[in-house]
Structure 1
């Protein structure tokens, strides 16, 4: 299995917050890509690489970034032997390809013909999350031979449904649909779906079908990777594994919360997410 970490965003909200901060505490974060932000004792993305490697569930990690941050990611990657960096060649947020296009780019560039774990580069999970458990669950699904995929969900509050993609599932935890940022009155589900997906190799050709269908659509329809998951659900079996929650680094307060947790509260760094 391979891993693709999506790291081509420009972190515009976070950089605005850092520029507006007058305390000086966060001046060192100016111009730093979100996945490279220091979280605890290492970069956010390093937590993923260490966990993916220790779990043994992938043999290669591909990171898709942009031309602005590519050199910084290449320097960071020198500490690992199983990481490769790919630039999407964009230089501005307005000119971004979008997350689904970046995933498609990685699949084509590295000629990926294996199952793929797709990870948002600005996301970390709570300590109950286990890559080995995810890998076992996914392997069990593959025995059915229908190319099933696996996504995660955690419970959100009523007022948070409009922030996330919300999964609706049947009694076997198979997704029946995913609604993008619905009002609480539009769904009984409170299953938020973070950017962590395990796509079967049988599902990867559908990336081309999705992108062809959306080629004239607004960038927003190709940007959020959850849009592909929503499109995929009627076409391939997509099952859900439950977790307790996540850290989503979008702005400065969410970064501070994440960094504080990993600096002061995390138990067992060596086993984290493994």
Structure 2
């Protein structure tokens, strides 16, 4: 299996918060892409690479970034032999390709023909998440049918359904549909779906079909990777694995909350996410 880390975003909300900060506490973060932000003892994306290495669930990690941050990622990746960096060649948020196009870029550029673990570069999970357990669940699904894909879900609050893609599942935890940011009365489910997917190699050709179908739509429909998952569900079997929660670094408050957790609350940093 290969891992693709989606890290080509420009972090516009976070940079606005940093520009507006008058305390000076976060001056050292200015200009850093979100995956390279220090979270506890290491960069956010380094937590992923360390756990992926220790779990042995992938044999290569491909990080898709943009031209503006490419050099910073190359410098960071020098310490990780299994990591390769790919630029999407954009230099501004207005030029961005979108997350789904970046995933396809990695698949095409590196000639990926294996199952793919897709990881949001600004996302970390709570301590109950483990790559080994998730990998075992995916392997069991693959043994039943090689088409099977796996996503994660966690319980969100009722008033938060309109912030996330919400999964509806059957008794076997197969996903029936994903409702995009529904109001609470539109679904009984509270299963939010973060950006972490295990995609069967048999599903990768559908990236082309999705992007061709959406080529005349706005970038928002092609940017959010959950839109591809929602589109995929009627076409390939997708199952879910439950976790307790995630950290989504989108702005300065969410970053400081994440950093505080890793500095003061994480009980076992050595086995985290393994």
TM, length-normalised to structure 2? 0.99
Residues 190-205 of structure 1: matches in 2 within 5 Å? 190-205=190-205
Count of residue correspondences? 274
Q: Which runs of 4+ in 1 moved over 6 A?
A: none
Distance 1:16 1:199 in 2: 34
Residue in 2 aligned with 1:172?
172
Distance 1:116 1:155 in 2: 25
SS in 2 for 1:159: helix
Residue in 2 aligned with 1:64?
64
SS in 1 for 2:147: coil
Residue in 1 aligned with 2:225?
225
Distance 2:42 2:238 in 1: 33
Contact 1:146 1:237 in 2 (8 A): no
Contact 2:5 2:118 in 1 (8 A): yes
Contact 2:146 2:200 in 1 (8 A): no
Distance 2:80 2:177 in 1: 38
SS in 2 for 1:202: helix
Deviations 1:193-220 (A, max 9, x none): 0000000000111111111111111111
Residue in 2 aligned with 1:153?
153
Specify every segment of 5 or more residues in structure 1 that has no aligned partner in the other structure, as ranges.
Answer: none
**2:233 is the alignment partner of 1:244:** no
Contact 1:147 1:203 in 2 (8 A): yes
Residue in 1 aligned with 2:135?
135
Specify every segment of 5 or more residues in structure 2 that has no aligned partner in the other structure, as ranges.
Answer: none
Distance 2:90 2:159 in 1: 35
Residue in 2 aligned with 1:31?
31
Deviation at 1:81, TM superposition (A): 0.4
SS in 2 for 1:255: helix
Deviation at 1:152, TM superposition (A): 0.2
Deviations 1:163-193 (A, max 9, x none): 1100000111000000111111111110000
Residue in 2 aligned with 1:83?
83
CA RMSD of aligned residues (A): 0.6
Residue in 2 aligned with 1:186?
186
Distance 1:267 1:79 in 2: 26
Deviation at 1:145, TM superposition (A): 2.4
Contact 1:8 1:88 in 2 (8 A): yes
**2:45 is the alignment partner of 1:48:** no
Deviation at 1:267, TM superposition (A): 1.5
Distance 1:185 1:146 in 2: 36
TM, length-normalised to structure 1? 0.99
Contact 1:101 1:211 in 2 (8 A): yes
Residue in 1 aligned with 2:208?
208
**2:54 is the alignment partner of 1:20:** no
Residue in 2 aligned with 1:99?
99
Distance 1:223 1:111 in 2: 22
Contact 2:211 2:222 in 1 (8 A): yes
Deviation at 1:146, TM superposition (A): 4.1
Distance 2:17 2:197 in 1: 29
